[in-house]
Amino acid sequence: MSHEPVSTIDPEEQPPPLARIDTIQFERENYYKSCCLYCDKRALQFFSVLIISVSVMIFCMIQIHIVPKCDEGEYIGLLTFILGVLLPSPAIKR
- Dihedral of the alpha carbons of 30, 32, 37, 38, in degrees to the nearest 10: 30
Q: Reduce the DSSP state of residue 33 to 3 states and report it.
A: strand
Of all residues in the chain, the percent with pLDDT exceeding 90 is 16
Q: Where are the domains of the chain?
A: 41-86
Over residues 18-44, the pLDDT tens digits come to 566 666 666 667 777 777 777 888 888
Q: Is the pLDDT of residue 13 over 60?
A: yes
> In this structure, what are the phi and psi dihedrals at residue 48, rounded to the nearest 5 degrees?
-65, -50
Say whether 63 sits in a helix, a strand or coil. Answer: helix
In this prediction the pTM is: 0.60
Mean pLDDT over 41-61 rounds to 89
User: 5-19, 29-43, 47-61: which has the highest mean pLDDT?
Assistant: 47-61
Q: How far apart are CA 47 and CA 27, in angstroms?
A: 19
